[in-house]
């Protein structure tokens, strides 16, 4: 059996007692609270100081308290050791300083937060089993035929091999319409090999092997934003620069979807994480943003681990995708969660003035999609295949027709990104929150897996696109809660059949700490579907009690108080796994290392002697020979070199 790989990312920290700090620009700018820097500086920056490495150069991201002023700008420039990077849409500066100077900046009253410019790495027959084939071919109704035409998908990754046949349209035009490099290597091809595979899963065509490996949205436009270098790594500043570019240009290229099959350890709370802030800005502007959950679902002994969702997958407005394993079949009755797929809750945190950590504890992922041993486009002479020849799928000997295997949440994420593009083509008025809600509502809950493993369940593209078509196009911020959501009063059966297997829709949504269910989520307009809010804004939490906000969610929606292990039917059915009040209980409720049902909560921020975060599977980040779940891929069909245009 061929071996596969999946990716994770890592960053090394270490920990010991804060050294004295100096303040550029004079002590009058320092906070009067000696503990203020605990909540204004990221934990990994503090760790560097504590370990006696305050003299080391670090690249940092600075967020001002009330905007940039001349005094703060001059102070940053006076201590900066490298070029200062600015952004057009995000109020940050990136600069190289000593770690001590970075901490001193954090103490200023005109600085809101300082974090390290962290390393980012890749985390890392699908069209049939997801239901994409049905909606592309009309699903029995010609008006439902969608293929992503006119929709731009921005792929933040290691570049794209543009000449690959997978990226042509039927008129032989290349659908990689824009390429930009944010790594400093001044190239936009894909020497690493990850981005080409990701882009093709989301939007590859069906020319090769008689459309056996067609992507989800095969005629969507692709925007290639290279943020990972030739070794598959990058940093926060590069990702921010790419998101900044999207924020400026999304209207020009109709970029409605952003795919981020990458991430970094979620140290800072989403309230402070710069990339989470940038993602929120994009979502508020109408761009659906999808992020990989990560590949840290098990330790070296195969034990389940909870609490390893990566950034920016810890951002509430993002659609965070875990990986399922289809065992190489189209029918979905045997599908499970891939053992490596990262589980929630999110363990990013902020620290108060007393040094107490407050964890975000959001339910993530939102959904899962097929991600194990998927076959898609292989970039020319890429590092992954050069180092691991077994990753070549043996589909073709021709360079621009080759296909390769990869596994991971990196592969699952573009499946969902392609689905979002199809939904928006079917109904361009959908908000990102509506896309997210429809994907969750129509998902398939997988039996025996809890909400921290699968969110609402496995993606069901056929139903999501059909429901997108039925949503009214005249909805706006002034539409009252409870107004009709659909153009019809006759609902379709809330079941889907794929390859002879029929399953029931989830009929519920994950909302930060809890879930909601009920038919009114699909028949009635909910305030949480608007732009500029979060789906989780519709619940009120207090003293462990969950109630609904009737200004955001109509009365007919049921709010749950347990995180459930699914019985495979609808959201909320099954057995209780964890009380919602446990998540709401903050850091004391889920202690580091605590056993949580069938696994453990890892010690985010707990450092081992070699500087590695406890529970982080570092070998997966360093080796290209790590297997996914050791199961069969979809059947391989040899390509005969003749383009198939019947897709």
pLDDT of residue 81 exceeding 80: no
The mean predicted confidence, pLDDT, of the chain is 85
On the 0-12 / 13-18 / 19+ scale of CB atoms within 10 A, 145 is: middle
The pLDDT of residue 631 is 66
pLDDT band at 363 (very low <50, low <70, confident <90, very high): very high
Instruction: Residue count of the chain, please give it.
Output: 647
* Range with top average pLDDT, 4-18, 573-587, 619-633: 573-587
The pLDDT of residue 293 is 94
What span, in angstroms and rounded, lies between the C-alpha atoms of 161 and 159? 7
pLDDT of residue 11 exceeding 90: no
pLDDT of residue 611 exceeding 60: no
* Range with top average pLDDT, 103-117, 133-147, 436-450: 436-450
Which percentage of the chain shows pLDDT scores above 70? Answer: 85
What span, in angstroms and rounded, lies between the C-alpha atoms of 363 and 178? 35
50-59, 375-384, 527-536: least confident range: 50-59
Own/partner pairs, 469-477, CB within 8 angstroms, 24+ separation: 469/143, 469/144, 469/426, 469/427, 471/427, 471/429, 471/430, 471/434, 471/438, 472/525, 473/427, 473/429, 474/429, 475/429, 475/525, 475/529, 477/530, 477/531, 477/532
Name the CATH superfamily housing domain 122-474.
Peptidase S8/S53 domain (3.40.50.200)
Q: What is the arithmetic mean of pLDDT over 142-148?
A: 75
Q: Strand pairing partners for 221?
A: 152
Which tens digits make up the pLDDT trace of 338-358?
999 999 999 999 988 888 888
pLDDT of residue 462 exceeding 90: yes
Torsion angle (degrees, nearest 10) of CA 146, 149, 152, 154: 70
Which tens digits make up the pLDDT trace of 167-179?
999 999 999 999 9
The pLDDT of residue 267 is 87
Torsion angle (degrees, nearest 10) of CA 550, 556, 562, 568: -140
The pLDDT of residue 269 is 95
Distances, alpha carbon 235 to alpha carbons 238, 417, 455, 555, in Å = 5, 22, 28, 45
The pLDDT of residue 9 is 27
Q: What is the arithmetic mean of pLDDT over 135-141?
A: 64
DSSP SS3 for 78: helix
Beta strands per DSSP E along 374-517: 374-377, 403-406, 495-498, 501-504, 508-511, 514-517
The pLDDT of residue 296 is 87
Q: What is the arithmetic mean of pLDDT over 222-248?
A: 94
pLDDT band at 22 (very low <50, low <70, confident <90, very high): very low
Tokens found for residue 91: 């109020």
The pLDDT of residue 25 is 31
DSSP SS3 for 67: coil
pLDDT of residue 142 exceeding 60: no
The reply to whether 122-474 shares the fold of 27-117 is no
61-65, 389-393, 547-551: least confident range: 547-551
The pLDDT of residue 203 is 98
Which percentage of the chain shows pLDDT scores above 90? Answer: 65
27-117: which CATH topology?
Answer: Alpha-Beta Plaits (3.30.70)
Task: Parse the chain into domains and list their residue ranges.
Answer: 27-117, 122-474
Tokens found for residue 621: 């980040």
pLDDT of residue 188 exceeding 90: yes
Give CA angle at 325 (323, 330), nearest 5°: 120
Task: Give the H or E element holding residue 263.
Answer: strand 262-263
Beta strands per DSSP E along 302-395: 304-306, 319-325, 336-337, 349-351, 357-359, 367-370, 374-377
Distances, alpha carbon 41 to alpha carbons 16, 60, 87, 269, in Å = 16, 10, 21, 11
Q: At what angle do helices 99-106 and 70-79 cross, to 10 degrees?
A: 160
Which tens digits make up the pLDDT trace of 193-227?
999 999 999 999 999 999 999 999 999 999 999 99
What span, in angstroms and rounded, lies between the C-alpha atoms of 152 and 548? 36
pLDDT of residue 37 exceeding 90: no
The pLDDT of residue 83 is 78
Which tens digits make up the pLDDT trace of 404-420?
999 899 999 999 999 99
pLDDT band at 122 (very low <50, low <70, confident <90, very high): low
The pTM of the full predicted model, rounded to 2 decimals, is: 0.87
pLDDT band at 300 (very low <50, low <70, confident <90, very high): confident
355-359, 392-396, 483-487: least confident range: 355-359
Q: What is the arithmetic mean of pLDDT over 506-531?
A: 95
Instruction: Write out the DSSP string of 183-213.
Output: SSS---S-SSSHHHHHHHHHH--STGGGGTT
């Amino acid at each position: 059996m061929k071996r596969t790989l999946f990716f994770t990312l890592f960053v090394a920290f270490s920990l010991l007692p804060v050294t004295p700090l100096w303040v550029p620009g004079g002590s009058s700018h320092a906070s009067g609270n000696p503990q203020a820097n605990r909540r204004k500086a990221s934990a990994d920056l503090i760790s560097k100081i504590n370990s006696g490495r305050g003299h080391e150069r670090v690249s940092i991201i600075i967020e001002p308290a009330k905007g940039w002023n001349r005094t703060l700008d001059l102070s940053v420039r006076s201590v900066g050791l490298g070029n200062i990077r600015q952004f057009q849409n995000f109020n940050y500066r990136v600069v190289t300083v000593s770690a001590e100077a970075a901490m001193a900046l954090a103490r200023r009253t005109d600085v809101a937060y300082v974090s390290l410019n962290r390393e980012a790495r890749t985390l890392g027959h699908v069209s049939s089993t997801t239901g994409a084939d049905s909606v592309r071919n009309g699903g029995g109704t010609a008006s439902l035929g969608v293929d992503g035409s006119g929709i731009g998908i921005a792929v933040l990754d290691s570049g794209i091999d543009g000449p690959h046949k997978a990226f042509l349209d039927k008129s032989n035009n290349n659908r990689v319409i824009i390429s930009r490099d944010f790594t400093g290597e001044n190239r936009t091809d894909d020497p690493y090999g990850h981005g080409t595979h990701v882009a093709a899963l989301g939007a590859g065509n069906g020319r090769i092997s008689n459309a056996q490996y067609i992507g989800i949205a095969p005629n969507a436009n692709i925007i290639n934003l290279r943020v990972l270098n030739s070794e598959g790594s990058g940093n926060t500043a590069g990702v921010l620069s790419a998101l900044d570019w999207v924020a400026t240009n999304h209207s020009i290229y109709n970029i409605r979807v952003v795919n981020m099959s990458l991430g970094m350890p979620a140290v800072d709370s989403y309230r402070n994480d710069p990339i989470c802030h940038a993602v929120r800005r994009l979502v508020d502007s109408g761009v659906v943003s999808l992020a990989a959950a990560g590949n840290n679902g098990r330790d070296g002994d195969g034990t389940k681990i909870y609490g390893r969702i990566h950034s920016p997958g810890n951002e509430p407005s993002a659609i965070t995708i875990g990986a399922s394993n289809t065992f190489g079949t189209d029918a979905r009755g045997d599908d499970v969660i891939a053992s490596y797929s990262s589980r929630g809750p999110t363990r990013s945190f902020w620290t108060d003035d007393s040094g107490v950590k407050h964890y975000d504890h959001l339910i993530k992922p939102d959904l899962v999609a097929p991600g194990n041993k998927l076959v898609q486009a292989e970039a020319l002479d890429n590092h992954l295949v050069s180092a691991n020849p077994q990753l070549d799928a043996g589909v073709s000997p021709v360079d621009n027709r080759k296909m390769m295997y990869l596994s991971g949440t990196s592969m699952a994420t573009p499946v969902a990104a392609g689905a979002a593009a199809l939904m928006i083509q079917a109904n361009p008025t959908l908000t990102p929150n509506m896309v997210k809600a429809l994907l969750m509502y129509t998902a398939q809950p997988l039996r025996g897996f809890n909400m921290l493993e699968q969110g609402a369940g496995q993606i069901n593209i056929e139903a999501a696109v059909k429901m997108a078509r039925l949503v009214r196009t005249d909805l706006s911020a002034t539409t009252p809660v409870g107004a009709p959501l659909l153009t019809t009063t006759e609902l379709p059966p809330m079941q889907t059949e794929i390859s002879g297997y029929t399953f029931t829709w989830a009929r519920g949504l994950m909302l930060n700490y809890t879930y909601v269910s009920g038919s009114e989520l699909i028949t009635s307009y909910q305030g949480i579907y608007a732009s500029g809010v979060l789906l989780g804004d519709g619940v009120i939490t207090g003293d462990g009690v969950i109630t609904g906000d009737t200004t955001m969610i109509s009365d007919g929606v049921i709010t749950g108080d347990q995180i459930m292990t699914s019985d495979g039917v609808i959201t909320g059915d099954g057995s209780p796994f964890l009380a919602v009040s446990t998540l709401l209980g903050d850091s004391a409720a889920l202690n580091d290392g605590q056993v949580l049902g069938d696994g453990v909560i890892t010690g985010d921020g707990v450092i081992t002697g070699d500087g590695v975060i406890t529970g982080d599977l570092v070998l997966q980040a360093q080796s290209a020979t790590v297997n996914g779940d050791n199961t069969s891929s979809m059947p391989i069909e040899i390509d005969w070199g003749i383009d198939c245009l019947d897709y």
